[in-house]
Amino acid sequence: MSSRRVWGAYLEEARSECLRYLRSPGFLLPTLLFPSVFYLMFGIFLGHANGPDAPRYLLASYGTFGVMAPGLFGFGVSLALERDSGLLTLKRALPMPPGAYLLGKMAMAMVVAATVSILLLSMATFLAHASLTLSQMLSLFVTDLLGVLPFCALGLLLGTLIKGQGAPGLVNMIYLPMAFLSGLWFPLSMMPALLQQLAPIWPSYHLNQLALSAVGLGQGPVWPHVLALSGYTVVLVWLAARRLRRYG
């Protein structure tokens, strides 16, 4: 195949994945509504009562919470279902580049993450009147956009381990506790000391620290969190690739 046809195959697969999920209200509406409703209640209606920095703090936290879902559910649940239904086997038989399937799902997750980030930033700017500069908004948007990738890797690994029928429940059992234990719903300072010490084992904790730094509320350097998320992504993709090669 010529390079033009190869790139065309990648783009077509990414386009079809994006359209498939954007036309699925059962996936799209909860992904967009959960972080938006939480931010509306706690970041706008109750935000300023908790201090002038509360709208910015909760914007970062609920942005992290929102971009976790496209990676975990878009990869984890869909891959488990497609393995069970035989669609993954069919995809492998099609004359397209081997990585087009995964890159298509990654593009879908990034599009949804970008939509979540823009929606929350709009609410923070026009409803919460959060004090954000243009550079802070752009920094948070890029953080959210790229921050979905470690959760794509985690979802990819989960999709190789679980069956399609039980995938939504099992992914939720990871998604919600991980968000809570990372300090996305309550500040870590309000949690027991043991949970505070264990928080850095979760990728959501590191992404939240980067998001807080993007809005001007970070503490300490950002490079340890970037390295941690990069390490999570590489290791999880490697483990998932081994599983897919061995078990399909």
Domain ranges of the chain: 3-247
CA 5 – CA 148 distance, rounded (Å): 28
Q: What is the pLDDT of residues 140-165, one digit of tens each?
A: 999 999 999 999 999 999 998 888 78
Task: Report, as an integer, the average pLDDT of 44-52.
Answer: 73
CA 180 – CA 38 distance, rounded (Å): 13
Task: Report, as an integer, the average pLDDT of 78-83.
Answer: 86
The pLDDT score that the predictor gives to residue 81 is 87
Statement: residue 1 has pLDDT above 70: no
The pLDDT score that the predictor gives to residue 179 is 94
The pLDDT score that the predictor gives to residue 147 is 96
Whole-Å CA distances, 235 to 1, 18, 107: 31, 26, 20
**How would you label 162-187 residue by residue, b for 16+ Cβ within 10 Å and e otherwise?**
bebeebbebbeebbeebbbbbbbbee
The pLDDT score that the predictor gives to residue 248 is 61
Which of 41-50, 134-143, 166-175 has the largest mean confidence?
134-143
Statement: residue 205 has pLDDT above 90: yes
Task: Report, as an integer, the average pLDDT of 121-139.
Answer: 93
The number of beta carbons lying within 10 Å of the beta carbon of residue 240 is: 23
The pLDDT score that the predictor gives to residue 115 is 95
The pLDDT score that the predictor gives to residue 241 is 86
Statement: residue 247 has pLDDT above 80: no
Is the pTM higher than 0.85? The answer reads yes
